[in-house]
Amino acid sequence: MTSSALTAGDDSVPISGHLLRALVRVSPDLIAVVDATGTLQYASPASEAMLGYAPGELIGTSAFDLVHPVDQVGALEGFASTISASDSRAVPLLVRLRHANGTWLATEIIGTNHLSDPEIAGMVVSIRDVSASMRTEGALRDSEERYRLIVELACEGICVVDATGRTTFANRALADLLGMTVNEILGGSLFDSIDESERDAARSRIVAHGDEALDEQDLQLVTHDGGIVWARLHSSAVRQHDGTYLGSILFVTDVTERRGLEQRLAEEARRDPLTGVANRTELFEVLTPILQQGTLTAALYVDLDGFKEVNDQFGHTLGDELLCTVAGRVRAAIRDVDTLARVGGDEFVVICGNLESTDEAVAIGRRIREVLGQPFGLEVGSVRIDSSIGIAFGHAPDADSLLARADQALYRAKRKGRGRIEISFDDAAA
């Protein structure tokens, strides 16, 4: 941990890495770091005292799995808002978190965006236990607690199924979720509303086994009008005193909105936010399996000549507009099966797999140079730029090596006067 300084007025007090670690270790607040997908990368020792989890136990899990179902949409929206901009203002959020013993703890969460900091590369989250401050005394507390439980249960779909899977009770929330009336649900089977591909597995887990408590599972439910709803099911077995299985109580929570937010977050984590093309993460996700196929593959490293001058003269807004137009032109110049990624300010990489010959990739590079050499009509008028391209070919499944050789070829093109294509072959492609 590097040293830093704590500023108070005009005085700066240096803080050593040891002191910072000590502050985190003794802080009653839980300090955590989550990445752009919401996965926990770090949790301070307070996680054990506050939530009953050893710090290492949470690493690699989704932070949103700890959030109460009723609070998950708000937590996801707050997370998306915080990571959307590096200067987003930290706003406290009240969220209930799952304790290791199964209870829910009221907490106040403040997150700050440090994704651009290479030493953190995530969102730093401060979590404070506010359960004590939210409690009241005596009858008022009991009354409010009962009211809260009633409201929470009413927000979830609830039903009871017997040992054969027949529904014997359903509440209004479940009926609304399925687009049915309560009477239409009673006597039927909830499993008939589960997507056919998941129906048998769900029935086997809930009815056939009759476990006392099953892990939550996300399933697709088919509504009365044929729509699809993502729902989280949690079941608990009902037994007689002698252990005879009578049925199960099911809690059904609509998580469609959450699933949509998660999907958008996952997509955004793999896309360049300005141009919409792939980023470096998706580039390697695409390139590695292509190279594993063993077919002739090319990486085209494209650098814009003259972009800095345009950016300096007209400003970043026009520069961003130019980059978006460049991405569109390059996308139109390559094949549908090729992948375009932005890997730097004005640097792009095109991955061409399953090539018939090296000439095919060179032809693609020439088309890219041709479309980028045409005038760009921007708000300030027509501007021109050029491009230099380094092309590397390979068969071996080594993505880093292929991109490094393409970058070296680009460097040669720039050194020889820009506005040209340079090629690098490996032994197999030569």
Give domain limits for the chain.
Answer: 4-134, 139-259, 270-424
Phi/psi class of residue 247: alpha, beta or left (left: φ > 0; alpha: ψ in -120 to 50)?
left
Tens-binned pLDDT, residue by residue, of the chain (430 aa)? 344 433 333 444 455 566 777 777 778 889 999 998 889 999 999 999 999 998 789 999 999 999 998 888 888 888 888 887 766 566 788 899 999 999 999 899 998 888 888 888 888 999 999 887 766 545 556 666 665 565 356 578 888 888 888 888 888 888 889 999 989 988 988 888 888 888 888 877 777 555 555 557 788 888 888 888 888 888 888 888 887 888 888 888 888 888 878 777 777 778 888 998 999 888 988 998 888 888 899 999 999 999 998 888 888 889 999 999 999 999 999 999 999 999 988 999 999 998 999 999 999 999 999 999 999 988 888 899 999 999 999 877 788 999 999 999 999 999 998 889 999 876 444 4
CA pair distance 84, 221, nearest whole angstrom: 32
Q: Half-sphere exposure of residue 91, counting CA atoms within 13 Å on the CB side?
A: 13
Residue in this structure with the two tokens 């793999």, named with its chain if needed: 270
Q: Output helix, strand, coil percentages for the chain, rounded to the nearest 5.
A: 40, 30, 30
CA pair distance 186, 168, nearest whole angstrom: 6
CATH ID of 4-134, from 3.40.50.970, 3.40.50.300, 3.30.470.20, 3.30.450.20? 3.30.450.20
Segment holding 363, helix H or strand E: helix 358-372
Residue 368: per-residue pLDDT: 95
pTM of the model: 0.47
Segment holding 113, helix H or strand E: strand 104-114
CA pair distance 362, 58, nearest whole angstrom: 48
Architecture of the domain made up of 139-259: 2-Layer Sandwich (3.30)
Q: Environment class of residue 12 by beta-carbon count within 10 Å: exposed (0-12), middle (13-18) or buried (19+)?
A: exposed
CA pair distance 32, 22, nearest whole angstrom: 15
Q: Do domains 4-134 and 270-424 have the same CATH topology?
A: no
Domain 270-424: state its class: alpha beta
Nearest to 358 by CA among 406, 410, 393: 393
Phi, psi of 111 (to 5 degrees): -120, 140
Phi/psi class of residue 46: alpha, beta or left (left: φ > 0; alpha: ψ in -120 to 50)?
alpha
CA pair distance 52, 43, nearest whole angstrom: 12
* Residue count (the chain): 430
